[in-house]
Amino acid sequence: MPEGYLPFFIFAALAIAFVLFLLLLAKLLRPAPPPTPVKLDAYECGIKAMSDARGRYAVRYYIIAILFVVFDVETIFLFPWAVRYHQLGWFGVAEVAVFLAILMVGYVWAYKKGALEWV
């Protein structure tokens, strides 16, 4: 075993031992009353649950969320381009045009599928 990795393994072992020690200490020191039906009941603002939490959600919510992430990432990729706009020249403009064209294809596809209609 290379000697260069020895400090890393010592540090990793100490970190794992420290975490396990703290978890064990917390388990030993905390109060542990027996569970009651009130304690085991789901808490939701003091209101009793009306139905099972494993209900179905419309796929539309997930599609809107994915579209939000895609267009949010688009703005993240456009920021460095805007900072280096003068250095990139026309090549940078062409790259961003291709990037935005690909995103617009996705936007048009989502619009035609009806993914952006909320009702």
C-alpha–C-alpha distance, residues 1 and 99, integer Å:
48
Distances (CA, A) of 42 to 31, 35, 56, 82: 20, 13, 19, 49
C-alpha–C-alpha distance, residues 81 and 99, integer Å:
11
What pLDDT is stored for residue 18 in this prediction? 98
C-alpha–C-alpha distance, residues 113 and 75, integer Å:
24
- Each residue of 69-95: pLDDT tens digit? 888 888 888 888 888 888 888 888 898
What domains does the chain contain, in order, with CATH numbers?
3-113 (1.20.58.1610)
- Each residue of 102-113: pLDDT tens digit? 888 888 888 888
Residue of 92 and 44 predicted with greater confidence: 92
Residue of 110 and 26 predicted with greater confidence: 26
